[in-house]
Amino acid sequence: MPDQSHLYEALKHVVGYIYPNDIEAHWSILIVLYPYLTGLVAGAFILASLERVFNVREVRPTYRLALLTALAFMLIAPLPLLSHLAKPLRFWEILVTPHLTSAMAMFGFVYMWYLMVVLLLEIWFDYRRDFVVWSRESKGFKKFLYSVLTLGVTDISEKAIRFDEAAVKTITIIGIPSAFLLHGYVGFIFGSIKANPWWSSVLMPVIFLFSAIVSGIALVMLIYLLSNKIPPRQAEHGVS
Amino acid sequence: MTDFPLEETRVEKPDKSFFVPKLCNACDHSPCVQVCPVGATFETPDGAVLVDPEYCIGCRYCIQACPYGTRFLNPITGVADKCTLCYHRIHNGQQPACVENCPTQARLFGDLKDHDGPLNQFLREHKIQVLKPHLNTYPKVFYSGIDKEVR
C-alpha cells in the first residue's frame, strides 16, 4: 500500500465533511501538460500552413522547423497521459477496445489520424527529394537510413517533384481542419465534463485553439531564434 | 499548508443545516459509464454501476466526471472504485450494509422495476427529490423530504 500519511496531514485542515474523491480534487499536473503539448503541435502546424496554403512569404524560413517541431511534440504528447495512468501497462486497452461514448477513447483516433495521415505524410513528401539526395551522398549507416526513409521511391525527376509539392499542399489543406480538430477535441474532452462548472462550456474548444495558435507560434519562434545561434546550420531552414 | 491562518477565517453561522448522506446515485445515464475510455465502468442489467478492477486503467476521467463526487482512486488496488450498492449482498437476497445497519431505518432498498413493490409505493406517497436533476443523470437514489437547496 502506498504511503498515505500526507493525506492524514491534510485531513487536519478539513472543516466539515468531505467527499470520497476530495483527495483527487485535481487531475494532476500531467493532465495540464498534455493539452499544452498538443496545443504546441497544432500551433506549430498552423504556422507551417501559413506558408504553404496562405503564401505568407515572411515565415517561409520556419516552414520545415515548424513541421519538425510539430512532429517532435506530437510524439511525446501521449507520454504525460501514459505516466498519469494508475495502470500504465493497460494503456493499450484504449486502442484495442475503445468505449465509443468516451471522449478520451475517441481521442486516440483523432491523434492517430493527425500523426499518420497529416504530419508524417506531409513531412515525408516534403523531405522525399532530400532523402534521395542524401542517400546517394552519404555512406554506411546513414546511407542505409536515408534509403529506408525514401520507402523505395527514388524518382527525383521534375515531374515527381511537382507531384510531391502538390501532395504537400493538399495534405496541408486537409491538415488545417485536422489541427483544429486535434486541439479542439482536447478542449472537448474537458468541456464535456458537466460535473465541473468551470469546464463544461461549449467555448472550451475555441479557448484551447486560440491558446494553441499563440503558444505554438511562440515555440517555433523561440526554437528558430536559438537554432540560428548555431552557425553552420544558419541556412538550412531556408532550403525547401 | 500548516501556515494557513485557519483561526482568522470567518465562519458564518448557517441559518439552517441539513444532514444529507451522499452515496453513488446509481444514475440511469451515468456520466462515469459514459466517459470511461475502456468500458471498465459498466451498468449491470439490474441497474447497479460497477467497476471492473481487472480492466480499469486508472485514468481518473470518471472521478472528474461524477457530479456527486462519489468516485475515488482506491489506494490499495490502484484503480477507480465506487459504492457497489453491496452488489455481493443484494445478489444473496440481503440488504446493502448501509440499509441493514442504519439504526433509525432511514434508508430503504428495493426493486424499482417492481411497480407495486414497497419501494415504488414509498416513492409515490412521499415528496421525493434527486440530487442535481438539471444534469439529467436520472439517479436511482431518491431523497425524501429534502430541501431544494441541497445539491
Find, among A52, A61, A50, A59, the residue nearest to A233 by Cα: A61
Q: Residue type for B145, please?
A: G
Is B11 domain-assigned? no
Residues of chain A with a CB closer than 8 angstroms to some CB in chain B: 1-2, 4, 9-10, 13, 15, 19-24, 27-28, 81, 84-88, 90-91, 93-94, 97-99, 101-105, 192-196
Query: In the 8-state DSSP scheme, what is residue B15?
Result: S
pLDDT of residue A240: 41
- In words, the CATH class of domain A27-235 is mainly alpha
Chain A residue with CA closest to B59: the answer is A85
- Domain residues for B63? 31-144
Contacts of A85 in chain B (CB under 8 A): 57-59
Q: Where are the beta strands (DSSP E) in B17-123?
A: 41-43, 49-51, 72-73, 80-81
Chain A residue with CA closest to B57: the answer is A87
Is B72 domain-assigned? yes
Is B25 domain-assigned? no
User: Between B5 and A105, whose confidence is greater?
Assistant: A105
| Cell numbers standing for residue B112 | 424499482
Strand duo B41-43 + B49-51: pairing: antiparallel
Q: For chain B, what is the domain count?
A: 1
pLDDT of residue B8: 61
pLDDT of residue A238: 47
What is the domain-level CATH number for residue B53? 3.30.70.20
CA distances for A177 relative to A6, A25, A114, angstroms: 46, 34, 10
Shortest CA gap B116–chain A (Å): 34
pLDDT above 70: residue B44:
yes
Is B117 domain-assigned? yes
Shortest CA gap A191–chain B (Å): 11
How many Å apart are CA A143 and CA A149, to the nearest integer?
Answer: 10
Chain A residue with CA closest to B4: the answer is A13
Structural domain boundaries of chain A? 27-235
Is B137 domain-assigned? yes
pLDDT of residue A25: 67
> In the predicted model, what is the mean pLDDT of chain A?
83
Find, among A33, A36, A63, the residue nearest to A214 by Cα: A36
Beta bridge partners of residue A103, listed in sequence order: none
Shortest CA gap B74–chain A (Å): 10
Split chain A (240 residues) into runs of 10 and give each run's mean pLDDT. 64 67 74 90 88 82 88 91 89 88 89 88 88 83 82 80 87 88 89 88 90 91 85 52
Is B7 domain-assigned? no
pLDDT above 80: residue B27:
yes
ipTM score for this prediction: 0.76
How many Å apart are CA A14 and CA B99, to the nearest integer?
Answer: 28
Shortest CA gap A84–chain B (Å): 7
Is B17 domain-assigned? no
How many Å apart are CA A107 and CA A95, to the nearest integer?
Answer: 10
Is B73 domain-assigned? yes
Residue A148 has a CB neighbour count (10 Å cut-off) of 11
